[in-house]
Structure formats: C-alpha cells, structure tokens
Amino acid sequence: MSKLPSDLSLATLSIHQDDHLARVVDIAPPLTVSTNFEYPPADKLILARDRKISEDSGDDLIYSRFTTNVVQRAEAVLSGIFGAGAYPVTYHNGLAAFTAALFFFNPKKLAIGDGYHGCHSVAEIVSRLNGLRVIPLDSDEIDSTTLVHVETPINPTGYAIDLRKYAEIAHARGAKLLVDATFAPPPLQDPFAFGADMVMHSATKYFGGHSDLLAGVLVTKDADVQRALRGDRSILGTGMGNLEAWLLLRSMRTLSVRVRAQSASAEKIVRWLADNVERLPALTKVHHSSLQTEAFVAEQLAGGHSPTFSFEVTSAEVARALPDRLKLFHHATSLGGVESLIEWRAVTDPHVQLTLLRVSVGLEDPDDLIADLEQGLLAA
C-alpha cells in the first residue's frame, strides 16, 4: 500500500497506521511466535558496540525481549491513536507501565492521590528498594525531585480531577506530571492538552476491550524518552508476549466505535439512575463525571465521559446481594470490556465504603441495561 495521507482521524489510523509494517500479504496480521530473527546480510550488520541496545531496541527485529513485529504494529497503531508527536511504549500490563515510569523518572518523592490501589502498592515496593517517599497529591512538599501522579477520571467513582491545576502546581515547582488516563482513553480525553508530561493506560481495559488480555502503555511527547523507556523494557523484560500483542492489535481496530458507544450508554444510564434516586429506595447516590458541574470537566472530557461509574446503596447487605439479582451484568472486577460488569468494590479494594458498587458499561443496548438495573434495584 502507498503512503498514508497526513490528516487522517483516530478511527482511520487505528486500522491503517501499521500498514507499512506488514511483512506478508495477509489482511489480518499473523500471530507469530518466534523469539529470534535472522540477521540482515553481511554488509548491513551493525555491531553491538555501535548499536547501544540498552538505549534503543524498538526498531530492529533481533530478539523478542526487545520487540517483535506485532509489538511494533501495536505501537504504530497507538501512535496514530494518540496523535502527532506522541510516542507510545507498551508493557505487559498497566502496573508494569506505572513501574517503568517510576524507574524512568526515579523521583525522591511521589505525590499521589486517590485512585487505583495497585499503583499505591507499586510505590510501596519501590520505597522498600530506594526510600521513595509517598506524599499526598496536595502536599506542600512537591519540589523538583517529585513525580506528581494524577488519575483521572478516578477509580472507582469516575469523577474527573482538574489536570490543569496539578500541571501548574507540578511545573511551578519543577516536578513532572504523570497521568493515569485508563478510565477515559482516546477519543474521550487528551491529558497532554492539559499539561501531562507522560500518560499511562492500563490497556487491559479499553484498548483491549474484550476482557482477554493484559497490557499497559506509557505515552511520551519526547522521542528520546521513548528510546530510553524501550531500552529499560528490553532489559527488564516487561514487554508484551506474542498473544497479548496480537490480541491488543486486533482490539484497537475498533477502539473508537467501542469507546464512543460505551461512553454514550454510560451517560444515559447515569442520567436515568440520578433521575430515579427518589423512586428506587435501595439507591442513595450516583457518582460520575457527567454529574459534576465544574467548568473544567466538559473541557477535559471533550470526547465524552468514562464508560465506568459507581453508585451507592442503602447498606452493605444490599450491595452484596444486588449483583446476583442482575441478569445482564456479570459480577466481576476490571472494566472496559464489551460485556457490562458490576462489582461490589470492597471485594478487591480495601479502601472503599461497603455500600459502593462500580459499573463498567459494555456494548449491550443501554435501555436493556437500564431495565435490568431497575428490576434489580426494585427487588433489593
């Protein structure tokens, strides 16, 4: 195929940005398993001493701990999804991506707020190794040795956090801002437009979208940072395996249609729940960025709200019983798949109230999902 035009949209690039990396005539990329690749002809060989494998191993096929054709294709698609000037690096899961960011910035302090509990657990392990100090997001101690980590929209409520505010604080004090944007992938929000220095996603969630792979991604606006991250990855061995990379590539073809539809359904369901709190005695409160009124929210979530939200019920007993009464929501952790999920969040998160249920909206008809929630909540 010939060279792509320069002004294509996310949906188009998700399908074509890796065309130039196809090595066979197959329309569907092959799932390959090789750990090693034949060297080029003698006159094209580059010696290790001239190559600096530790600084860049993203371009050539040598050994699969460095990269593979399918990983290269997945990263090409991600660069299309994140837009011009964005350099993605993939990992075998979201927490591996977060760990890679901590290793790369090597901060003395990590300013971190509420959010995914696993990131806090990674910070504890790194503290054990090098004395990293974990401080609150709104700490006065943020300085040039600090990495500020903001998750938005935030797990489990789906509320948006004002990125511009934290970017200003971080940059005024010489700190860097890392944003976990897992809950609102492209095309919903672009954290770089609000001052993020690096963006991470658990690609297990919306990029994967089918509850069948683990993956993570870090995105930087600096090609040198991408090279350094790939170098670290090639040594730490934190890249995706063959099957995961292949599943991720397959999944990202449909990212924009899936995420737009899930976001619109979530907004509709949240609206219905919020309008029916009085009529449904078991329901006490609904949490989601679509219910926030601050001006920054609509600006930041310009492409739509997260397809994940939470609500509260009258008691822990009701929260325990409700998932089993629903017919269209599986009771399970995680989010982002085509099938809707509900989770009594206290089962996996030690820090949330016992009355909270988290909902990940899938691709079912939202009216069917509303009817199911209605019968479940009325019976509760």
Ligand X SMILES: *Cc1c(COP(=O)(O)O)cnc(C)c1O
Residues that bind ligand X (CB under 6 A): 93-95, 116, 118-119, 151, 155, 180, 182-183, 202, 204-205, 214, 216
* Closest CB to ligand X among residues 216, 376: 216
Shortest distance, CB of residue 115 to ligand X, whole angstroms? 6
* Closest CB to ligand X among residues 109, 205: 205
216-220/198-202 β-pairing:
antiparallel
H/E stretch holding 238 = none
Residue spans of alpha helices (H) in the chain: 10-16, 48-51, 69-82, 94-105, 117-130, 163-172, 223-236, 242-252, 255-275, 295-300, 316-325, 366-379
Shortest distance, CB of residue 180 to ligand X, whole angstroms? 5
* Closest CB to ligand X among residues 183, 329: 183
Shortest distance, CB of residue 189 to ligand X, whole angstroms? 13
Shortest distance, CB of residue 166 to ligand X, whole angstroms? 16
Question: For ligand X, which residue has the nearest CB?
Answer: 94
Q: How far apart, in Å, are the Cα atoms of 144 and each of 3, 210, 326, 338?
A: 43, 40, 49, 42
Shortest distance, CB of residue 183 to ligand X, whole angstroms? 6
* Closest CB to ligand X among residues 95, 142: 95
Shortest distance, CB of residue 137 to ligand X, whole angstroms? 15
Q: How far apart are CA 143 and CA 36, in angstroms?
A: 44
* Closest CB to ligand X among residues 66, 183: 183
The residues with which 200 forms a beta bridge, in sequence order, are 180, 218
Q: How far apart are CA 135 and CA 172, in angstroms?
A: 18
Q: How far apart are CA 139 and CA 133, in angstroms?
A: 12
| Whether residue 187 has a cis bond before it, omega within 30° of 0 | yes
Helix (H, G, I), strand (E, B) or coil at 150: strand
* Closest CB to ligand X among residues 151, 267: 151
Q: How far apart are CA 44 and CA 220, in angstroms?
A: 31
* Closest CB to ligand X among residues 79, 308: 308
Q: How far apart are CA 82 and CA 80, in angstroms?
A: 6
| Whether residue 185 has a cis bond before it, omega within 30° of 0 | no
Strand order in 198-202's β-sheet? 87-91, 216-220, 198-202, 176-180, 146-151, 109-112, 133-136
Shortest distance, CB of residue 120 to ligand X, whole angstroms? 10
* Closest CB to ligand X among residues 56, 194: 194
Shortest distance, CB of residue 182 to ligand X, whole angstroms? 4
Q: How far apart, in Å, are the Cα atoms of 170 and each of 72, 138, 345?
A: 33, 10, 31
Shortest distance, CB of residue 204 to ligand X, whole angstroms? 4
Specify whether the CB–CB gap between 222 and 87 falls below 8 A: yes
* Closest CB to ligand X among residues 119, 282: 119
